[in-house]
Amino acid sequence: MPLREQLQSTLGDGYVVGRELGGGGMSRVFLAEEVRLGRTVVVKVLAPELAGAISAERFEREIRVAASLQQANIVPLLTAGDTAGLPYFTMPYVEGQSLRTRLASGGTLSIGECVSVMRDVARALGYAHEHGVVHRDIKPDNVLLSRGAAEVTDFGIAKALDAARLPQDSHTLTQVGSSIGTPAYMSPEQAAGDPELDHRADIYALGVLAYEMLASGPPFAGTPQAVMAAQVSAAPPPIARDDVPPALRRIVMKCLAKDPAHRYQSADELLGEIEAVATTSGTLQSTIRARRGRVLAWAGAAAGILALAWVGTGTMRHQRWVRGEAIPRIKQHAELAHYDSAWMLMRQVQEVAPK
């Protein structure tokens, strides 16, 4: 039976499984509609060779920690289960594109765009690290750009895979590449197979991400083996871009320090440096104004569109909450530049809106 049909059978009437979105070596990805809530979700099903190398029960247990993360720049995990022996998990569908797609489309990201993405990812990492979750696979594919903000997906998945692997299949898991991350974004301690790596590996990966946005490519290229060797022993080339502020260059290079002790010791410390650059250089001012405009435009349009959509539906309680409380609060958050709070409320409005 095709995987899509197996998945539909497992999920039952609660979901309508749609088209396959693709995937990579780790999983296959499907779009689905959650019937009861009327929302679109993404279902990721682990690849057979990966599923055979782990304990499905342990994997599901491990990702429960990640499922508790609730922050505006983190795409949350919703549910998890098993279909035909293949573990799966679901997440909200995020409209927009991945940072990988944005980088591949050509054109250079402005300094303001780069700093904005760095800031949002640092916020996500800071929250997750405070709750004991290390991502281990920060890369452009796992950063989604939506409505002027960046959201990080797949939090806790690499860690869960590593913790759930069966001893006799550790080589298989490493071959697939999910136990330690993606070579181009791996910290030196990840590349060296250090079992004691911590949250500072994510800070290194964010440094690679920032370098790639600014320099139109990661610091090291080549075969996976060559890249991993370079992560351990080679210095990253200088960023050959004239408009990068010196303070921003220093931030990126500090993230890329070989020794974790020489990096930022927390994502919050890094975030403070990023925000200082944004404030002193003015690189984010146009981005902030544009983001405020997008939020206010969304709130204004939503008020009118939802008023029409709710005609005759009988959902007066939701309508009163959206028009009387949510929309005014979204506008207030936008005026105060509290975009995390604004996006969270916007997501809640979309959850209750008629489909």
CA distances from 17 to 5, 9, 14, 219 (A): 8, 10, 10, 39
The Cα–Cα gap between 334 and 93 comes to 23
Q: Are 277 and 245 in contact (CB under 8 A)?
A: yes
C-beta pairs of 77-81 under 8 Å, 24+ apart in sequence: 77/155, 77/156, 78/41, 81/10, 81/11
Q: Are 331 and 292 in contact (CB under 8 A)?
A: no
The Cα–Cα gap between 305 and 315 comes to 15
Number of helices (H) and strands (E), helices first, in the chain? 16, 8
CA distances from 52 to 9, 12, 56, 157, 322 (A): 21, 24, 9, 16, 46
Q: Are 33 and 15 in contact (CB under 8 A)?
A: yes
Closest CA to 51 of 3, 5, 9, 11: 3
List, by residue number, the catalytic residues.
137
Written as one letter, the residue type at 255 is C
Written as one letter, the residue type at 163 is A
The Cα–Cα gap between 238 and 252 comes to 10
